[in-house]
Amino acid sequence: MEKDLSFPEGWQVSVAAMNDGEPIDHRRCEQVLHSPTGTPPLEDLAKQAQRASIVVEDITRPCPTAQILPSVLANLTRGGLGHEQVRVIVGTGAHTCMHRAELLKKIGQDILENVVVSQHHPYENLAYLGESRRGTPIYINRHFLESDLRIAVGGITPHSFTGFSGGAKLVAVGIAGMDTICANHKRAIAGEAGGVGNVAGNECRSDMEEIAERAGLAFIVGGVVNSRRQLAGVFAGHMIQAHRAAAEFARRVYATPLPPPADIGIFNAYPKDIDLVQAINAFRAVDNQIDKVVRPGGTVVIASACPEGAGFHLWAGPGGRHDLVYDQYRDFGGYQVIIYSPHLSYLEAKPTYPDNTLVFKSWQETVEELTRQHGTAASVTVFPCASLQMPA
């Protein structure tokens, strides 16, 4: 649901919007599957296979995979693989499983009711494939490995660890064991990740791509969404070549010129706003460097729908293997933090945010508090789709 934000007269309000992209024609997906980057067409690959597995991202990610999957299935069918020879695996990684209403949105009713769909478990149904060159133990979903044509479908969005999401990450994290996820992500915590948008020399992503290659990922489809969560671009083919082409396009779509620092920065977590754990993605808009857009002593406002509340994450959430959210944002650099969410309470936010964090369910209460803090002549910068945006 879209919501307009009103501000007091006298405030200087600027909107830091991304470049954005127009929605593509629905036929574009078929075209890229017939002319992929770095691999034969998907239909030709299917002719050489007996079974196919398709990993898809889960509901926490914004790509409308239900619009892509029918074309993928159609190509597999033309290549001789019936629906009974195909399995769709939801790459939950360290997230919670999806319920049926979410599966209908993410996969579509026809596929959900006519193709076997399973959800990944990071502690069970795993096969061990040895260690990567960087020492990461490789545990991958057995169902995926049982197929001889292995495909991944998901979105390409800015990511703090891997530069951009999608591609090999759907396998190396989405359907990996917890020990694999932890070992790989520790590289990012240790400073081996390249930051938002950077894939060159990024050890975290390179490790993922080695893992996905070891697991036999043969074909990817990556979608780039615009500010309305519509497909602005689709890329298909080799897990590295197609991913890099998608990343370059995504970089242009998501690029956001940053204005001078303001008194208040408002980071709308849409479209990764299902819960508070995912809302942290909003700071990708500034490559997690809030001081680029908010003055010392200023206020950071996180706007997030959070229909599922505080959220759950086996690795990064409270009580997980690595309490990343709390560890990374323990003091927020001294900024006052306000969370504006109609579905969240202070107690739900407390485990992962500073003790002085304020939580408001209404925008009016939020503005009243901001006025109390900054008076009647405050400057404000609003990032409307912050979890997609990245510095230009």
Same-domain status, 55 and 39:
yes
Give me the chain's average pLDDT, please.
Answer: 94
Domain annotation covers residue 46:
yes
User: Which pairs from 1-5 meet CB under 8 Å and 24+ separation?
Assistant: 1/305, 3/363, 5/266, 5/303, 5/363, 5/382
CA dist 326 → 92, 335, 339, 352 (Å): 22, 15, 15, 4
Q: Omega into 318 within 30° of 0, i.e. cis?
A: no
What is the total count of domains within the chain? 2
Confidence check: pLDDT of 329 > 80: no
Provide the pLDDT confidence category of residue 296 given band limits of 50, 70 and 90.
very high
Domain annotation covers residue 23:
no
Structural domain ending residue among the three candidates 236, 254, 272: 254
In the prediction, which pLDDT does 190 show?
A: 76
HEC secondary structure over 263-289: EEEEEECCCCCCCHHHHHHHHHHHCCC
pLDDT digits (tens, 9 = 90+) for 123-148: 999 999 999 999 999 999 999 999 99
Please state the length of the chain.
392
- Helix, strand, coil distribution of the chain in percent, nearest 5: 30, 25, 45
Same-domain status, 221 and 269:
no
Average pLDDT over residues 213-228: 98
Domain annotation covers residue 7:
no
Same-domain status, 307 and 179:
no
Provide the pLDDT confidence category of residue 350 given band limits of 50, 70 and 90.
confident
pLDDT digits (tens, 9 = 90+) for 11-30: 999 999 999 999 999 899 99
The torsion defined by the Cα of 95, 99, 104 and 106, in degrees rounded to 10, comes to -10
Return the percentage of the chain with pLDDT > 70, whole number. Answer: 96
Same-domain status, 349 and 209:
no
Structural domain ending residue among the three candidates 207, 228, 254: 254
Same-domain status, 199 and 137:
yes
338 three-class SS: strand
DSSP code for 9: T
In the prediction, which pLDDT does 1 show?
A: 77
Same-domain status, 76 and 183:
yes
Same-domain status, 197 and 117:
yes
pLDDT digits (tens, 9 = 90+) for 95-117: 999 999 999 999 999 999 999 99
pLDDT digits (tens, 9 = 90+) for 232-269: 999 999 999 999 999 999 999 999 999 999 999 999 99
**How far apart, in whole angstroms, are the C-alpha atoms of residue 162 and residue 178?**
18
CA dist 390 → 140, 273, 284, 359 (Å): 31, 17, 6, 26
Same-domain status, 160 and 236:
yes
Same-domain status, 207 and 141:
yes
Same-domain status, 99 and 248:
yes
Among the residue ranges 53-57, 131-135, 218-222, 351-355, the one predicted with the least confidence is 351-355
Same-domain status, 49 and 194:
yes
**How far apart, in whole angstroms, are the C-alpha atoms of residue 130 and residue 254?**
37
**How far apart, in whole angstroms, are the C-alpha atoms of residue 257 and residue 236?**
29
Range of the domain at 191: 28-254
Confidence check: pLDDT of 45 > 90: yes
Domain annotation covers residue 234:
yes
In the prediction, which pLDDT does 156 show?
A: 98
Domain annotation covers residue 2:
no
Structural domain ending residue among the three candidates 254, 280, 315: 254
Same-domain status, 265 and 130:
no
Half-sphere exposure of 46 (CA within 13 A, CB side): 23
Confidence check: pLDDT of 64 > 70: yes
Question: What CATH code is carried by the domain that includes residue 301?
Answer: 3.90.226.30
Question: What CATH code is carried by the domain that includes residue 182?
Answer: 3.40.50.11440
Domain annotation covers residue 1:
no
Domain annotation covers residue 6:
no
| Helix residue ranges, H only, the chain | 28-34, 42-47, 69-78, 100-107, 109-114, 142-145, 169-172, 178-189, 203-214, 241-254, 276-279, 324-328, 346-349, 363-374
